[in-house]
Amino acid sequence: MVPRASLPAMSIADENLPPPLDLVSAQALIAAVQSEAAARRLALRVPPPEPTTCCGRGCNGCVWEGWLAAVAYWRDEARLLLA
């Protein structure tokens, strides 16, 4: 299972923004990106859906790890559109 530590608030335009590390920080990142896009009246693709198949045993290559990587990629694509 992914630990739940939060990231400090940063602008999504910051190229040095680290990838989300947990569910809470990823959800906050998605909300911030969507809010900024809405404020600029830009349409983004839908963010990756949260996994529903985690067994909770902390597997190497957990579905949460893949999801967090997908969220980081989604954020990077959004950053290009918002630039």
Task: Please give the residue range of the domain that contains residue 29.
Answer: 23-49+58-82
d(CA 28, CA 51): 17
Q: What is the pLDDT of residue 14?
A: 65
pLDDT the model gives residue 13: 61
**In 1-83, where does DSSP find H-type helix?**
23-39, 63-82
Q: Is residue 1 part of a domain?
A: no
What is the residue whose two structure tokens read 């939060």? Answer: 6
> For the chain, which ranges sit under pLDDT 70?
1-16
**Angle, helices 63-82/23-39, rounded to nearest 10 degrees:** 20
Structure confidence at residue 6 (pLDDT) = 47
Is 63:57 a contact under the CB 8 Å cutoff? no
- The model carries a pTM of 0.79
Let me know if residue 44 belongs to a domain: yes
- Please give the Cα distance from 27 to 13 (Å, whole number): 17
Q: How many domains does the chain have?
A: 1
Q: What is the pLDDT of residue 7?
A: 43
